[in-house]
Chains A and B, each alone.
Chain A
């Protein structure tokens, strides 16, 4: 089977999915969630103590995913690690066979269940991408050489929906300059706004220099959408989407249909090289979504 890096290299449409590790030491939760990602998913993206809530570590969960035959992408945030810990964890991840890393600044500690914790932020996501790139080229941040350099496909995140738009494009370009090979966006609930952002991205030719993977999130109810709009910073949801969800007799079906339509629209768009599914605690919907969107992956062979 092709790896994610190879698929991106060849310019194929990739599908990744997000997996949140549990707030316990139960590895079976990961195996259960991973089971839904067996078919049609090129990379399982594992969150790193998402929203600053303590969870099973991203690298450990990635190893479990690998045992299940999936290709993991670990998220690495700057919130909990200084530059020593970041480099040490990356070396460890590479030694365990993890080949993809998504570099993020991280949610602030005050959002989580340990708001009193010391936020580290020794570096920001751009500097982190540059650091990982440097490590793959065989040098530590100190400048010392690495005997066996790790090999990573480096990713960054972009939020097309937060203000100001100028800064978003600017930062995206800095991330790509620093060495990001793929860019994952926040979930798209407002295609109009997203395309406006994409236009700016294409103007600067950034879509050719890195694979832009758009986030898609299937939701179960209008209440969930409204909760996200009010509580998740930097989220933009088109009012029509909420209205359609509210009017629906079977909100779950409508949620799937909305997600499928978004995927189809994104797939048709030039400059979008893949989608990233974020079925938060609704992993079972993934195969349904992929089949409906025509991404079931007949070319994907079970091995």
Chain B
């Protein structure tokens, strides 16, 4: 165990607390923008770290996932325990622990605080949202609680700067203070765990006393599973025998129940001395919940909220998107004029600006979508949505626990699949992982947005409240949900048969989200999207540009230059201009056909011809298998290079509208466009998702299945739609 810290190391303070205690808001109030999102090695749970300045120097604040207890059911929940014990690579044992406590829920929150105190850490307790508690008639004496608990207790309100200063000063004292472990509630278990851990260590196993203690107490928990997997054979029998012995010598019930009863007895005594309650609490939430959790009105409200979100994503983002479009056009024109014509000019204008620009334009829509998701989470509504949806999820054989990963997948399947780690049952976890990529992620949004805006009429109903574009988008989202649900159902009925998992969540009181915290998280999401645009999409845009631009055979130029000479001799005035632009068009079209991408597209075109695609669309779809939103950039580049030179100022939408097959028929007919959108709704075009699936399922089997299944489903659906309606 790592207990010594080199003097040059920046001290670490771990931040722990129950879910819904406003922990991340407090974290954001302390760190502001000086934070980063990262993953712990080995596990996939996301966490935030941030450097803050304390009077005695810099400190690294590490925000841990919210939990009710150190008893872990899954690898995900074990992270908190491992960080506190110093078992994480590249992160030394915390010098102090900040326990965030919801003042309105002191009793339940002190359970975790008390467990942490037993670890012998220097602990600071932040009584968060003390203003809300006060308004509900809950008064807590922080000084008395400090004495009772043996740790400094500081009331905290995220919007009050002076509170942050006081908290920082206290943390500064705590990292330099010598911590004393508070008396344990079960000394006999601690002693037995120590002896057993010594025995295991003498056999060469690396294990801490506390890991063994948790393995003893948490029957069928993750600590037990991990210990048995890593320990020498025969450990399981010894562990079970020792547990049995402790139960018989103890209070006559399980060790877990003994821990809970004894701890709550101590806590009850403490709370009795420090807390006074006047009046009834939960009144506003009670009233709101009567509607939001109502079997009928709640469902109506849920559907209304979801519909509003999708309408807003379309209509509010419009002006901002126009602005970005104008900006990109100005950039292309400026760069195009500043540089002499040639490969570099084309690379910058048609490759970089057109490719990346056509993806960045969707930033406003993504920001609006995330703003809604974060607001729904922080206000407390998301838990109600899970409560409403649990019954539905159960018809699929899953639980409300799968609802959150599925909902996260509407933003991106990668964090969604990562979030499935909270599902303890492996079958349900895999079913959720396979269903998650069906949810319409933000990368599909650019594709949908482009095709809808280009090929569907602008129609409005109900006095402009509802528009056809928003409705079609909602329909595509629903299609993803239906696809995912049917897939999960199929899996749960066949390969992943098993009982329905449990569902147990707190419904936190409604509260107004903290604006600063919302903005910080929103910027974080925006940065992640832009980073993708700046790396993956940038690279693909350049590669695609090169595939489109080269090889440029000299014969083509010579042939068309000869035609130009002929035209200049034979024609004059307006006729000459028309003829010259015609020649330019034929020239670019032939260059494109002769290009590397043109050859690739034509080779694979027969595969996609039954779907009504031309070789350009086929090439774009194939190029977008690593990341689906790339198709917009690819189409942007293909159509920019091959565009009619008189139409260079026209947007991609205009170019798509005028795209024609060799026989002169329009490429983007309504059945073809809808088929293409459905193809994107189902197809698994995301290398990151495939990679994370492999990591989470522990092999290539499931990702390979998902890829084949989803791509096949997309192809067949697009085929049926195109052939059926053309």
Are A and B subunits of one complex?
no
| Residues of chain A at the chain B interface (Cβ within 8 Å) | none
| Residues of chain B at the chain A interface (Cβ within 8 Å) | none
